[in-house]
Chains A and B, each alone.
Chain A
Amino acid sequence: MSNPYADTEDVGLVVAIARYKEDALAEAYRRHAGAVFALAARMLWERMLAEEVVQEIFLRLWERPERYDRTRGALRSFLLMDTHARCVDRVRADSRRREREERSARAEMVAEYDLDLEAHDLTVAEQVREVVNELSDGEREAIELAYFGGHTYREVARILGQPEGTVKSRIRTGLMRLRSQLLDRGIDESWIVN
C-alpha cells in the first residue's frame, strides 16, 4: 500500500506529524532514517546503539514536532544535528568507548563516506566528499575527529599532539571553507529539502 504522504514536502510531513499522523512519520522515517543511522553508527561504532539513537530521534520528532523550524533549515539537517548532539552525549558518557574510538580514530579519518543508493543523496554526498577532499589534511583531520569522533577540540589536540589553538583554528577555517565551497557549487538547503 502506498503512503499517502509520499509526495508531501518535509515541512508538510511535520505538520501532519503534529496531528498524530503515523503515515507522515513513516514517510519521514523512510526518507531520513538511513542518514540518521549512518551518522549514529559512524559515531557510536555499535549497531545496536545506533539503532537506539534512530528510534530516539524519530520518537522526539513524534513527540515534539514543534522543535523543527523550517526557516532554520531542512528537516534532514535538523535530524542530523539532533543525532550528532545525542551521539556526542553518549560518546562522552562512555569513556570506555571513547578510548576505543581514539585508538581507531586515525584509521577512521581516511574512511570513505557512506555513499548510498538514492541518486540524489549520492550526488550530494559526492559533492560533499569532493569539497572535503579540498580541505587541508590538518583541517579535515581535526573536523572529522571532532565531528564524527565526538571529541572536544582539546581532546583532538591531545590525540593529534598539536596545540589547542591550532586545532581550534583548523576547525574554524575548515568549516568556513566547507561552507563557502558548498555554496560555490550551488549546494544549499534546497538540495536536501524533499
Chain B
Amino acid sequence: MDRQLTPAELRELLPVYAIDAVDDDERAAVDAFLAQDAEARAEVESLQRTASYLAHTGGPPPAGVWERLEAVIRDTPRPEGTVPPPRLVPVSAAARPARSTRRWQALAVAAVVVALASISLWALDRGGSEQRVDTAALAQRAEATPGARHADLQDTDGTTLARAVVLPDGTGYLTTANLPALADDRTYQLWGVDDHATISLGVMGSNPKVVAFHAANASQALAITNERAGGVVSSSEAPTAVGELRT
C-alpha cells in the first residue's frame, strides 16, 4: 500500500476486515482507524457475528482432544488454597435477552439493591466517628450470631487484609485490617462469588474501615479489587484479597 487510505476507503474495507480477508498493511490501517471510531468498531463486531453463522454447525467434539486438553490444564499452575481467587470476567447487567435470563435479571436487581445499600452505608462510614462505631458494633455483634458465615480475606502472601461476617439473612459486615489506603481516584470494590457469577456487592471507597453489605446466600467467597473511583460493573483486575465463606 503506497498511500494512506481515506476514511471512506477504510469503511469500505470493514466487511473484508471482519472476515480476516485483508492484507497485513491494510489490517494495520484498519486497526488504527478502529481505535478511533466506535461506530466502525461496532460495525465490525456485528459483521464478525454474522460471519460466524456461516460456521454455525454443531457436531460431536473430536475424539481424544478433551483428554489431551484435560492433561494440559491439570498441569497449569493455579493459586493455592481451597478457594482459588476469582478471575473476574465481564458480566454486564445490560446483557441482551437470552433464552433463560431470569437468573441474570435477578442477579442484576440484587446487585443494584446491594449497591444502593452499600452506598448509603458507606456514607455512614464517612459521616463521622460516632456512626462508624455503630457499624463496627453491629459487625462485632454479628460475629457471634449463630449460623453466621465468616471469611478471612487474604492477599496472595496469606496476609489477612479484611474479615467479613455474613448473617443467615445475607446481611454482611466487612472490617478491614492492613488494607492500605488508596489514592483519591481509586476505590476498593467488594465482590460476591458463586459457581455461576461474580457480582459487585458495593463500592467501599479508598480507605474503608467497616462496611455493611448484603450478599446472596449462594455466595461462596468474597473478593476485594482495587478499581477506579466510582467502581466498575465488571472487573478485570486481579483481586487484592479473597476469602472463602465458612460457617
Name A's B-contacting residues (CB within 8 A): 4-5, 8-9, 11-12, 14-16, 18-22, 24-26, 29-30, 33-35, 37-39, 42, 47, 50-51, 54-55, 58-59, 62-63, 65-66, 68-74, 76-77, 80-81, 83-85, 88, 113-118, 120-122, 124-125, 128, 132, 143-144, 146-148, 150-154, 156, 168, 171-172, 175-176, 178-179, 182, 187-190, 192-194
B157 at the interface (CB under 8 A from A): no
Also in contact, A117 and B60, with CB within 8 A (given A18-B198, A55-B68, A62-B73): yes
Residues A187 and B53 in contact, CB atoms below 8 Å apart:
yes
Also in contact, A39 and B55, with CB within 8 A (given A71-B94, A72-B45): yes
User: B15 to chain A: which residues have CB within 8 Å?
Assistant: 171-172, 175-176
**Known A35-B56, A81-B48; further 18 A-B contacts with Cβ < 8 A:** A8-B196, A9-B103, A19-B86, A22-B74, A25-B73, A29-B69, A34-B59, A37-B59, A38-B55, A71-B92, A74-B49, A143-B54, A144-B54, A152-B23, A153-B21, A175-B19, A178-B50, A179-B46
Residues A84 and B20 in contact, CB atoms below 8 Å apart:
yes
Also in contact, A179 and B50, with CB within 8 A (given A34-B61, A118-B58): yes
Also in contact, A116 and B57, with CB within 8 A (given A18-B88, A150-B20, A171-B15): yes
CA distance A38 to B74 in the complex (A): 26
Residues A37 and B62 in contact, CB atoms below 8 Å apart:
yes
CA distance A51 to B70 in the complex (A): 14
Q: Which residue of B lies closest to A13 (CB)?
A: B196
User: A24 to chain B: which residues have CB within 8 Å?
Assistant: 195
Distance from A69 Cβ to chain B, minimum over Cβ atoms (Å): 4
Residues B89 and A18 in contact, CB atoms below 8 Å apart:
yes
B178 at the interface (CB under 8 A from A): no
Distance from A52 Cβ to chain B, minimum over Cβ atoms (Å): 9
Residues A19 and B87 in contact, CB atoms below 8 Å apart:
yes
Nearest first, the 9 A-B pairs at minimum CB distance are: A121-B58, A34-B59, A33-B61, A116-B58, A12-B196, A146-B21, A39-B55, A18-B87, A172-B15
Name B's A-contacting residues (CB within 8 A): 12-13, 15-16, 18-23, 45-62, 64-66, 68-70, 72-74, 76, 78, 84, 86-92, 94-100, 103-104, 193, 195-198, 236
User: A73 to chain B: which residues have CB within 8 Å?
Assistant: 45, 49, 52
Residues B19 and A54 in contact, CB atoms below 8 Å apart:
no
Q: Which residue of A lies closest to B220 (CB)?
A: A19
Also in contact, A80 and B52, with CB within 8 A (given A19-B195, A72-B45): yes
User: B92 to chain A: which residues have CB within 8 Å?
Assistant: 69-71
Most buried by A among B12, B49, B64, B198: B49
User: B96 to chain A: which residues have CB within 8 Å?
Assistant: 71, 188-190
Residues A20 and B195 in contact, CB atoms below 8 Å apart:
no
A-B CB contact pairs (8 Å), 8 listed: A4-B195, A15-B89, A29-B66, A34-B59, A35-B57, A66-B89, A68-B89, A117-B60
